[in-house]
Amino acid sequence: MAVFRRGVISPALPGAVGATAGLLGDLLFSDPRRGHPVAAFGRAAGAAERLLWRDHRGRGALHTALCVGGAVGLAQLAVHAVRRSPTAYAALTAAATWAVVGGTSLGREARVIGAALAAGDVERARERLPHLCGRDPEALNAPQMARAVVESVAENTSDAVVGALLWGAVAGVPGLVGFRAVNTLDAMVGHKSPRYRRFGWSAARLDDVAGWPGARLTAALAAALGGRPAAAVRAWRADAGRHPSPNAGVVEASFAGALGVRLGGALSYGGRTELRPVLGERGREVAVADVERAVRLSRRVSWGALAVLVVGRLALTRACRAQRPAAGGSGVRPWTVREGAA
């Protein structure tokens, strides 16, 4: 069943190697400029929406099931195709990880806006802000844009990196692909606009569920690696629950405490103004220099998440294998090596 001649290779080891290589690939090469698999998924989801859209939750649930289920099914077929080779599985995991994480693009866009604000070029910053988040840039001044960037960096550290790595550790390549499909679909239809209030309901709720563990891991790592652990935990506990999102509030509050700033407040989406709760009330107003600090914290959190998940997955696999003889079972081993296997 495997290409190695002796011993047993667990999928955890090739998966860990592949995830590490994929995150390195994102660091070195960022997202592909053309032919991005996530963009291809978006086009397919858009085509399915045009066929299925009705102002009805049931139609939205069908759309969500077809899009996410199709993406996971294709990923499972790819895993099946490389089932005989740990090396090929590691390569597939690396490619999937590189395709679904977006930490480098996130940091690059944040820095472009931060540089424009630092140079006093507010119009340039307004032009670039939609590349990072859905705020109305014309309604924001320079400090508000800096705050929007820090909030987006915090939230997308969970959505674009940590959540994907976590589901990859739990469910391999289908977990990576499935999480990105859910997150992308939520960005497309999970809005409270008249068109998507009902149709996008299932995508939004599924994204809340899928993002829950990654958001908590992101917040914990931001507290641990941000240099102000007590302040981060205090802001998380005191303020996160007041945010309308069960996941964004946790991450943004922890980042606010770790960076010593205040997030939240008035913001504008799609022409409507919302008043969000303040996160990190003991902090100061966001300054332009905090954009770079947020990007650096995001990168530390991303690599910290990889380390935690790789070590945890390998330790769990070893513990499970050690228990098999004691349980008297001879469980099925994924890449059991037989002499002369091809």
Q: What is the pLDDT of residues 297-336, one digit of tens each?
A: 999 999 999 999 999 999 988 888 887 755 444 444 455 4
- Residue 270, pLDDT score: 63
SS3 for 137-180 is HHHCCHHHHHHHHHHHHHHHHHHHHHHHHHHHHHHHHHHHHHHH
- Residue 208, pLDDT score: 97
Q: What is the mean pLDDT of residues 37-62?
A: 95
Q: Which residues of 87-104 are buried (b: 16+ CB within 10 A; e: fewer)?
A: ebbbbbbbbbbbbbbbbb
- Residue 7, pLDDT score: 41
Q: How far is 2 from 9, CA to CA, in rounded Å?
A: 8
Q: What is the mean pLDDT of residues 288-298?
A: 97
Q: How many CA atoms lie within 13 A of 109 on its CB side?
A: 21
The two beta strands, 272-279 and 263-269, are antiparallel
Q: What is the mean pLDDT of residues 54-60?
A: 96
- Residue 342, pLDDT score: 36
Report the percent of the chain where pLDDT is more than 70.
89
- Residue 14, pLDDT score: 93
Instruction: Please state whether 336 falls in left (phi above 0), alpha (psi between -120 and 50) or beta.
Output: beta
pLDDT tier, 172 (very low <50, low <70, confident <90, very high otherwise): very high
Amino acid at 87: T
Q: What is the pLDDT of residues 107-161, one digit of tens each?
A: 999 999 999 999 999 999 999 999 898 888 887 889 999 999 999 999 999 999 9
Name the pTM for this structure. Answer: 0.90
pLDDT tier, 27 (very low <50, low <70, confident <90, very high otherwise): very high
pLDDT averaged over every residue in the chain: 89
Tokens describing residue 271: 């022409």
Q: What is the pLDDT of residues 220-243, one digit of tens each?
A: 999 999 999 999 999 999 999 999
Q: What is the mean pLDDT of residues 191-219?
A: 95
